[in-house]
A and B are shown apart, each in its own frame.
Chain A
Amino acid sequence: MFYRSLFPRDVFAELDRIQRGLQQGGGDLSPNIRGTARGGYPAMNVGTTPRSVEIYAFAPGIDPASLDVQLEKGVLTVAGERTSVLPPKDAPATVHIDERFSGRFRRVVTLPDDVDPNAVDARYTDGVLHISVQRKAAAQPRRIHIQ
């Protein structure tokens, strides 16, 4: 920020960037065409290492067999359904708080270009779907020998 304030290379571009950041709730460094589905279900965290891309989908209370994960052309889709625990309308019960998600869901994440679609590992533990996608060997950092 110090650097930016000392050398405002393009004030209007900078203002535009800040405004867009505010509209999207701020904090998202890489907005894309699919928007920022913040607050959607499941919530997602994405991270990278030099060798892999790690996706964590916070999808508690799902039958793992009903989860559908697809990777096509660099786009990862996670879909499934969560059944409601709420009693039927005619049941002699009262719903006091109803905050948890239920129903069908589908979320889409764009992955970096260098992922290997054949090296995907998905695991469902403690209500979190952890998907690990390896990057192609050619894209991994190599040490270059100096003659």
Chain B
Amino acid sequence: MSDNPALRQTPQPETAPRTTETLLPPVDVIEDGAGITLYADLPGVPKDRLHLHVEADTLTIEGEIALPAPEGLESIHSEVGLPLYRRVFTLSKELDADRVAAEFAHGVLTLRIPKVEHAQPRRIPIQVG
């Protein structure tokens, strides 16, 4: 899908105990000169049930769905069959994990991950000899 080394998806390691099954939220990832913007669809997750972790070079997005359900609700058709979202990305060195900015509105998470200063683009003059 993406061979960009900057924001690689981490394959789920077989050895790590996965206690629960989770939904994989769809994302858009766009890179420009100053950094990376990530959009993730997490419908049904209230703000207080969204968890973002940046640990070393690993970014984890987790969210728990909380829907209002009247008493005695019986499901007759279900396309969203799990209550948890989870997706893990590996960040590369030129991204500044300490300055990640997050916004969450209408079930869409927007993450802005800037590049560290020295990694930002410079125009390289070409000498004509």
Contact = CB atoms under 8 A, between A and B. Distances in A.
B44 A54 contact: no
Interface string B27-50: 111111100110101111111000
A58 B80 contact: yes
B107 A126 contact: yes
Contacts of A105: none
B28 A95 contact: yes
B76 A50 contact: no
Contact of A62 (B27, B33, B79, B106): B106
B108 A96 contact: no
B30 A96 contact: yes
Contacts of B56: none
B106 A61 contact: yes
B72 A127 contact: no
Interface of A is mostly: loop
A98 interface: yes
A46 B106 contact: no
B43 A59 contact: yes
Interface in B9-35: 26-33
Interface stretch (A2-10, A12-20, A70-78, A86-94): A86-94
Q: From A52, A59, A98, name the one whose CB has the most chain B CB atoms within 10 angstroms.
A: A98
A49 B31 contact: no
Contact of A94 (B4, B43, B74, B77): B4
B127 interface: no
B107 A61 contact: yes
A99 B27 contact: yes
Contact of B27 (A52, A100, A127): A100
Nearest to B75: A47
Given A46-B77, A92-B33, A86 B28 contact: yes
Given A99-B28, A126-B43, 20 more contacts: A28-B77, A42-B43, A48-B74, A50-B72, A56-B67, A58-B44, A59-B43, A60-B43, A91-B32, A93-B30, A95-B29, A96-B31, A96-B36, A97-B29, A99-B26, A99-B27, A126-B46, A127-B108, A128-B67, A128-B107
